[in-house]
Structure 1
Amino acid sequence: MKTFWKVFIVSFVFFFVAIFLGSYSYLKSNKNRVGTSIGGGESNIEEKRNTKEVKTETKTYSSLSEAFKDSENINVILLGMEDTRTDTIIFANFDPITKKVKAIFIPRDTYIHRKGYNQGEQRKINAIYGDHGVEGVKKALSHILEGIPIHHYIMVDYAGVEKIIDSIGGVEVMVPFHMKYEDPTAKPPLSIDIKEGKRVLNGKKSLEFLRYRKGNNNKGGYIDGDLGRIKAQQEFLQSFIDKVLSYRLPFVIKEGFNYVKTDIKLWEGLAYSRKVIGAEPDDFTFITLPGKAELKKIYGKVLSYFIFDSLEIKKTLEEIYNIKKP
């Protein structure tokens, strides 16, 4: 059984909650000491928390190129790894003015042709990390997303997922059917058995829920295939965010930092923390990269790819960045 999207939950929330809200809690308890180190102005944080910062409309731009240059939006890619392949890629955009987060899920089979890499599997975006590392993934994703700047990356592993989910007491989800699957050869081995109905899943069971695709011998599973799986995963993520935003979790950083690799520096996290105050669960939106699945024959071998739709992607980004053409 191929693993998929196994760690996106924690990586996503680690950035938008653990770093932002966790750093906010750190600032609150250390505001006098921290204020001088990141330019001051932290003395009014408690006041903002009590009165709740009023959200305003985002700025408007005449083109994406103008928005990419002048916008204060923060763009992050979240990577869940399967050995040297990126099993999960999520692009997340945070607007510090409206407090809204837009996450675009990038299918691992997204077709992208690199010069000199002509084998079928090499034309999938999940193969880029093994050859070019994080910078290669950032470059490829920026190409797909109309040249958008990518400011940070986050990578996380299985252990981090379990630790952080367990640290908040699990996540409540509606399991759509009895999920049962055995695969002792998987890494780590899989022995999934989750009953249908509303369940509070701990870290281990959450991973199993996210990794489940179909039963042994291709029996059972989501009626509408990957679309059903994606919907279930996004509902899980929303439930997780609903719960996490009810906490102040500076300890999430302590629990998760050993399992996360990121280029976000402490001072950046402290600065970002002020911008997220006021975010609510319904400020998070999840979509899948516009496009469609398609079979392609490469050197005599037929493989399934996800072909992205550049026109629809541009429309999506124009909506995110509030583009108002003259």
Structure 2
Amino acid sequence: MKVFLKIFLIAFVSFVLAMGAGLWTFAKFYSAPVGQTKNDHGDDPSSIEVVDTVEEEEPESEKSELKRLIKESKRINVLLLGMEGPRTDTIVLASFDPTKGKLDLISVPRDTYYPRKGQHAADKKKINAVYGDEGIEGTMAAVRDLLAGIPIDRYVKVTYTGVERIVDSLGGVKVHVPIDMVYDDPYDIPPLHIRISKGTQVLKGKDAIHFLRFRKGNDGGGYPDGDLGRIRAQQQFMKAAMDKVLSFRLPVVANTVFKHVKTNMSLPEILLYAKDAVGMTRNDIQTYSLPGKATEKGPSYFLHDIDGTEKLITEIYQESYEE
């Protein structure tokens, strides 16, 4: 039972921290430079208005192969949500392969363009607006739709206050901050003020969240290599947190995790998954981002690449059959 508890706790803390590490990248501060393009729904991204869309049909052989992989797979897919009020500020799909003890995390940008019938306001055409209108079931259905129809039956929800408390229960996380981080957003609720000095240090609570959120400073500067540098920093944080969990007092952390996490997974399910995850290390966790591009003009949307997404899902599911 102690081994089960440890693996379960590692998995939950990893999921929670991965939420912060994976999607603050694409939340309020995402503005990657892209060329003028058409989105996957066939609209000009600078003037997206239509709700009913027509998608180009992919080859039937590719559809059949992906459907076969999904049908024969024993993967368990869990939707991980970081909540900010009535909206999902962070969306991550965790796909666990119990046969190989591998975990794949796919981050879905909160600004992902997802038009719905009857919803005409620009902000209502984003994936993060679905939860407020349709709840957890509607959100799972929407993410399933974006991710090539993979089955999603389970969810885990946490607030960023919960992430702060979990990090604090660990005594903070030691990371290397590559640059001075100074950023202010007086319009955020509550107002956001980031002040983290360059260097190796232990980050607790709010500073940990600020580290995960930081994209660029007040002067417009940021990571030298842009998003790649930020993603590396966030992954460094997640891995350091996992190492801390492995060596920490389990009851202290477990108590905090259970207070701030909500899920529809039963205890028997969790113990079953924990048994399958015995021996899993941080090297068995792979992180991905939903393929696509951000709009350069007009409404701020992330336009997901349908073909790229299906290719990614196919590759992840094929891993289960590789020796």
Q: Pick the TM interval, shorter chain.
A: 0.7 to 0.9
Q: Which has the larger radius of gyration?
A: 1
- Kept in 1, the 8 Å contact 2:10–2:242? The answer is no
Q: 2:190 matched to 1:195?
A: no
- Kept in 1, the 8 Å contact 2:78–2:154? The answer is yes
- Unmatched 5+ residue regions in structure 2? 1-7, 16-63
Say which is worse superposed, 76-85 or 219-228, in terms of deviation.
219-228
The TM-score with structure 2 as length reference comes to 0.74
Structure 1 residues 72-111: aligned runs within 5 Å: 72-111=74-113
- Kept in 1, the 8 Å contact 2:173–2:203? The answer is yes
- Kept in 2, the 8 Å contact 1:245–1:281? The answer is no
- Kept in 2, the 8 Å contact 1:19–1:253? The answer is no
Match of 2:11 in 1: 16
Q: Report how far residue 194 of structure 1 moved.
A: 0.9
Structure 1 residues 109-188: aligned runs within 5 Å: 109-183=111-185, 186-188=188-190
Q: Report how far residue 276 of structure 1 moved.
A: 0.8
Distance 1:17 1:131 in 2: 27
**Aligned AA (1:314):** E
- Deviation string 1:117-160 (CA, Å, 9 cap, x unpaired) is 12211111111111111111111110111110112111111332
**Aligned AA (2:289):** T
Q: CA RMSD in A?
A: 2.5
Residues 97 and 209 (structure 1 numbering): CA distance in 2 closer, same or farther, change over 3 Å? Answer: same
Say which is worse superposed, 177-186 or 79-88, in terms of deviation.
177-186
Distance 1:107 1:100 in 2: 23
Q: 2:296 matched to 1:319?
A: no
- Deviation string 1:267-300 (CA, Å, 9 cap, x unpaired) is 221222211101011111111111111246xxxx
**Aligned AA (1:16):** A
- Kept in 2, the 8 Å contact 1:173–1:236? The answer is yes
Q: Report how far residue 224 of structure 1 moved.
A: 5.1
The TM-score with structure 1 as length reference comes to 0.73
Distance 1:97 1:123 in 2: 38
Structure 1 residues 247-258: aligned runs within 5 Å: 247=248, 249-258=250-259
Q: Report how far residue 189 of structure 1 moved.
A: 4.2
- Kept in 1, the 8 Å contact 2:179–2:197? The answer is yes
- Unmatched 5+ residue regions in structure 1? 1-12, 21-61, 297-301
Structure 1 residues 219-258: aligned runs within 5 Å: 219-223=220-224, 225-247=226-248, 249-258=250-259
- Kept in 1, the 8 Å contact 2:175–2:237? The answer is yes
- Kept in 1, the 8 Å contact 2:10–2:246? The answer is no
Distance 1:140 1:285 in 2: 23
- Deviation string 1:26-81 (CA, Å, 9 cap, x unpaired) is xxxxxxxxxxxxxxxxxxxxxxxxxxxxxxxxxxxx83222323322111111111
- Kept in 1, the 8 Å contact 2:93–2:105? The answer is yes
Q: Report how far residue 103 of structure 1 moved.
A: 0.6
Distance 1:268 1:129 in 2: 25
**Aligned AA (1:76):** V
- Kept in 1, the 8 Å contact 2:93–2:107? The answer is yes
Match of 1:306 in 2: 302
Residues 19 and 105 (structure 1 numbering): CA distance in 2 closer, same or farther, change over 3 Å? Answer: closer
Residues 104 and 196 (structure 1 numbering): CA distance in 2 closer, same or farther, change over 3 Å? Answer: same
- Kept in 1, the 8 Å contact 2:83–2:160? The answer is no
How many residue pairs end up in the alignment?
265
**Aligned AA (1:307):** L
Match of 2:262 in 1: 261
Distance 1:248 1:138 in 2: 34
Distance 1:246 1:316 in 2: 34
**Aligned AA (1:239):** A
Distance 2:240 2:10 in 1: 17
- Kept in 2, the 8 Å contact 1:17–1:245? The answer is no
- Deviation string 1:239-273 (CA, Å, 9 cap, x unpaired) is 22233234572443311222112111222212222
